[in-house]
Amino acid sequence: MSRIHTPLTDELTIYIRQVALREPTALRQQREASDLHPRASMQTSPEQGQFLHLLARLTGAKKALEVGVFLGYSSTWVALALPAGGRMIACDQSEEYTAQARQLWRAAGVEDKIELRLAPALDTLDALIAQGHSGTFDFAFIDADKANYVNYYDRAMVLVRPGGLIAADNVLWEGDVTDASKTDAETEAIRAFNRKLQADERVTLSIVPLGDGLTLACKL
């Protein structure tokens, strides 16, 4: 262990991928093909995707939830960790982006594990609660519009079982969370989310400085 964080240079990133990344072919091909996508920065890094896969395995996840699908990269990593008969509910509003996600799910052999719900995510989460799914999810990943992070988290806390894990991406917001001159709505929403979780005694908490920052909250 160390009391400091080793700065992650481009060279170290390449090294980590060389010695630790086990990216399935379908995921690698999709990631490389989307590098020039105008919103490529929204896609989860391969290290983070593999970490989500590991977390889902460690929690023994059989039922997972994703809020924000984009091109399907992170949902594929998590679905690959689910056992036969495992299930993921994937929430998104974009037919354009999720059409590409479906292609990736099919190529990776996980299409049968993922149920896509095209609707505002809050509507989907509220419907799941109303349908009796409270306390039945093992794992949840939040990576969608930042203004609703607190709302997504509140619903996830209802849907995830005790001992289940909630992960939320972009909690460092490219460093803007520490810049007092940044007062736009998205930055303020991330700050509010971080403060809320720090004070939430219903969970054990850690922020992993991976990618743009990944919060892990284990429901007690």
**Which residue(s) pair with 208 in the sheet?**
214
Q: Which residues contact 202 (CB under 8 A, 6 or more apart)?
A: 157, 219, 220
d(CA 125, CA 119): 10
pLDDT one-digit tens code per residue, 10-36: 999 999 999 999 999 999 999 998 888
pLDDT one-digit tens code per residue, 96-128: 999 999 999 999 999 999 999 999 999 999 999
d(CA 205, CA 197): 8
What confidence score (pLDDT) does residue 43 get? Answer: 84
The pLDDT of residue 66 is above 90: yes
The pLDDT of residue 214 is above 80: yes
Per-residue pLDDT band at 4 (split at 50, 70, 90): confident
What confidence score (pLDDT) does residue 170 get? Answer: 96
What's the Cα-to-Cα distance from 134 to each of 64, 99, 163, rounded to whole Å? Answer: 13, 29, 14
Mean pLDDT across the chain, nearest whole number? 95
Type of residue at 8 = L
The pLDDT of residue 8 is above 90: no
Tokens of 186: 């998205």
Q: Which residues contact 174 (CB under 8 A, 6 or more apart)?
A: 212
Question: Which whole number is the average pLDDT over 60-66?
Answer: 98
3-state secondary structure of 162: strand
Q: What sign does the CA torsion over 60, 13, 46, 193 have?
A: positive
Whose CA is closest to 123, among 93, 150, 168? 93
What confidence score (pLDDT) does residue 215 get? Answer: 98
Q: DSSP label at 26?
A: H
What confidence score (pLDDT) does residue 49 get? Answer: 96
To which residue do tokens 């509140």 refer? 154
pLDDT one-digit tens code per residue, 137-195: 999 999 999 999 999 999 999 999 999 999 999 999 999 999 999 999 999 999 999 99
**Which residue(s) pair with 66 in the sheet?**
90, 141
What confidence score (pLDDT) does residue 39 get? Answer: 83
What confidence score (pLDDT) does residue 42 get? Answer: 78
d(CA 98, CA 56): 22
Domains of the chain with CATH codes: 10-219 (3.40.50.150)
The pLDDT of residue 7 is above 80: yes
The pLDDT of residue 41 is above 80: no
d(CA 160, CA 208): 20
